[in-house]
Amino acid sequence: MKLFIDTANIEEIKDVERWGVLSGVTTNPSLIAKEKDVVFEEVIREITSIVDGAISAEVTGETAEEMIAEGRALHSIHENVVIKVPMTKEGLIAIRELEGEGIATNCTLIFSVNQAILAIQSGASYVSPFIGRLDDIGSDGIELVRELASIIEHYGYDTKIIAASIRHPLHVQQAALAGAHIATVPYKVFQQMLAHPLTDRGIEQFNKDFEGTKRING
């Protein structure tokens, strides 16, 4: 399973990029709005200069025509820009058109198997089931990922699952076990994935034991 970061914050992206574990970035209108005084298209352009991978930028238009126009404009920023399109009837029409033009799309706000089946049939390169938001309403977000992975595997579809709305490290490990191709992970969760108290204690002990050991260069 590959890892994307789910943020529009440039410093967070730069930090995790240095770890060498990032394959892409996802943003959404809420994440862009959290970054004060920025221009959407400029943020996306800057992200493409930091991460060499799929960068999802979401459209906000309501009609297929609006989404297609926005999608073309966003994709013109950089070939790695993937157009995030909401799971609506108009969104499906936009996905079909954009994919036909060679522009990759990510169908977002997926909460059911049937929505994903529609997105796959419309030609979406990625589908984004929202795990945390399903858990929030008492449904099982990971189970949706498992079902989608089994359908995609069974029929040999090319569409990739991006496990989204990840809230904690357990979601990442469960998404991997459920067969997600990608998990898009918030910065805070990346940091939580690194940490283990036994690692900290182990390093401390090794350094203490090693004190006073002779080295070639003094």
Q: Is 26 in the site for ligand G3P (CB under 6 A)?
A: yes
Residue placing its CB nearer to ligand G3P in the complex, 80 or 184: 184
Q: Is 115 in the site for ligand G3P (CB under 6 A)?
A: no
Q: Is 3 in the site for ligand G3P (CB under 6 A)?
A: no
Of the residues 2, 14, 84, 160, only one is catalytic, namely 84
Residue 58 CB, shortest distance to ligand G3P, in Å, is: 8
The correct pick among 110, 116, 124, 130 for binding ligand G3P (CB under 6 A) is 130
Give 83's strand partners: 57, 105
Q: Is 133 in the site for ligand G3P (CB under 6 A)?
A: yes
Tell me the DSSP string of 66-126: HHHHHHHHHHTT-TTEEEEEESSHHHHHHHHHHHHTT--EEEEEE-SHHHHHHHHHHT-SE
- Taking the C-alpha atoms of residue 102 and residue 133, their distance in angstroms, rounded to an integer, is 31
Which range in 125-133, 138-146, 171-179, 194-202 contacts ligand G3P by CB under 6 A? 125-133
The correct pick among 80, 105, 165, 174 for binding ligand G3P (CB under 6 A) is 165
Nearest to 160 by CA among 124, 202, 108, 205: 124
Residue placing its CB nearer to ligand G3P in the complex, 5 or 118: 5
Residue given tokens 């076990």 in the structure block:
177
Give yes or no: 84 in active site: yes
Residue placing its CB nearer to ligand G3P in the complex, 98 or 164: 164
- Taking the C-alpha atoms of residue 170 and residue 163, their distance in angstroms, rounded to an integer, is 12
Q: Is 6 in the site for ligand G3P (CB under 6 A)?
A: yes
Residue 215 CB, shortest distance to ligand G3P, in Å, is: 47
- Taking the C-alpha atoms of residue 104 and residue 118, their distance in angstroms, rounded to an integer, is 16
Which range in 66-74, 86-94, 126-134, 146-154 contacts ligand G3P by CB under 6 A? 126-134
Residue given tokens 């493409």 in the structure block:
48
Residue placing its CB nearer to ligand G3P in the complex, 33 or 203: 33
Residues making contact with ligand G3P (CB under 6 A): 6, 26, 28, 130, 132-133, 164-165, 184
